Homo-oligomer: A and B are copies of this chain.
């Protein structure tokens, strides 16, 4: 297969992945409902703060995932049917994010359900971060990565490992205080958005 064909294959995988990322991130707004209003619409909207907070945290989290996926693919040159399927398996929990987001938004003010809601939210994030490492490990070992990125590759591998560990720690904290747990998920998204935090084999 020529390099042009290979480039085309990666292009379509990225288009599909970008579509799923873009749709999942945009569907988040559908979970925010317009309040009836009555006397004080402003107060009714402020009372929905968990929906807005969950929207921002999940939007930034999916955004970080998208940038990471994007950066990973700047050094991936080829693809295989198995790699396409691994990407489908990676996108399965990504597309699922609107559910735990709505779960947390609706139950974070409910003392009995909030721990369960945040544990599920965190578990989905851990699964996504793990799948991210599976994607990279497969691409790296099967030689789908651009040759010149070999040295950076190992550094990238170690960098990606911090994701699942950080999300696992954040999730465990929900057993003590679910609010701190969500604050950590917010902080993690901000942290990875700072310059130089996303591992990049080309940098």
Contacts and interface: CB of A to CB of B under 8 A. Distances in A.
Interface of A: 1, 5, 8-9, 12-16, 18-30, 32, 34, 37-42, 45, 55-56, 59-60, 63-64, 66-67, 70-71, 73-74, 80-82, 84-85, 88-89, 91-92, 95-99, 102-103, 106-107, 110, 112-113, 116-117, 120, 193, 195-196, 198, 200, 202
Contacts of A14: 12, 15
Nearest to A37: B113
Contacts of A112: 37-41
B29 A26 contact: no
Nearest to A86: B193
A11 to B, nearest CB: 8
Contacts of A120: 45
Given A23-B23, A34-B102, A198 B81 contact: yes
A82 to B, nearest CB: 5
Contact of A29 (B19, B55, B71, B96): B96
Contacts of A82: 193, 195
B18 A56 contact: no
Contacts of A96: 29, 55
Given A37-B110, A63-B85, A26 B24 contact: yes
For the complex of A and B, list the 8 residue pairs with the smallest distance between their C-beta atoms, beginning with the closest.
A19-B22, A63-B88, A41-B113, A23-B26, A37-B113, A85-B193, A41-B116, A26-B95
A66 B88 contact: yes
A60 B88 contact: yes
